[in-house]
Amino acid sequence: MALVAVVDQHEIAAAEQARSKQVGGAVLDYANMLHREHSNNLQAGQALRIGGGPEANSPEVEAMKSKGRAEVATLDAKSGADYQKAYVDAMVKGHAEVVQLLDTKLIPAAKDEQVRNFLTNTRDHVAMHLERGEALQRGQ
């Protein structure tokens, strides 16, 4: 479950970076939506005590953290329209990966009903984020 918290933290950091890069228009709206919804999801997960325990420092969690840091660093080297396109592309790729992770691993492994409901709700939001990102890609 720590993987969900890492995803939320990464999306929050990436959205904050997008704001600092002064993205505009629909990309700014997208970054603001991702920041708000992933912040809310992180709080909801923490309320269920998701993201803690022994799995919080597992190799899989650490690898995901490292991947997120590398992605933010790569994005940071860009600016202007190049940054906006790279940001949206990264969000689409990342959200597609998270939908797959939820569908193939996390939701099927959830034994607790509250956890399963949380993960299903998370999946619905991530899928919507993916759809919005894909729409931005088509509009660029």
**69-79 confidence digits (pLDDT tens):** 999 999 999 99
Res. 139: pLDDT tops 80: yes
104 lies in which domain range?
A: 2-139
Could you give the number of structural domains in the chain? 1
Res. 51: pLDDT tops 90: no
Q: Please report, for the domain that includes residue 93, its CATH number.
A: 1.20.1260.10
Q: Rounded mean pLDDT of 112-135?
A: 96
pLDDT range class, residue 67, cuts 50, 70, 90: very high
Q: Rounded mean pLDDT of 81-88?
A: 96
pLDDT at 50: 53
pLDDT at 130: 97
What's the mean pLDDT when you consider all of the chain?
Answer: 92
Cα torsion through 86, 71, 68, 59, rounded to 10:
140
Q: Rounded mean pLDDT of 24-53?
A: 88
pLDDT at 55: 67
pLDDT at 54: 52
Res. 58: pLDDT tops 60: yes
Task: Give dist(CA 39, CA 45) in Å, integer.
Answer: 10
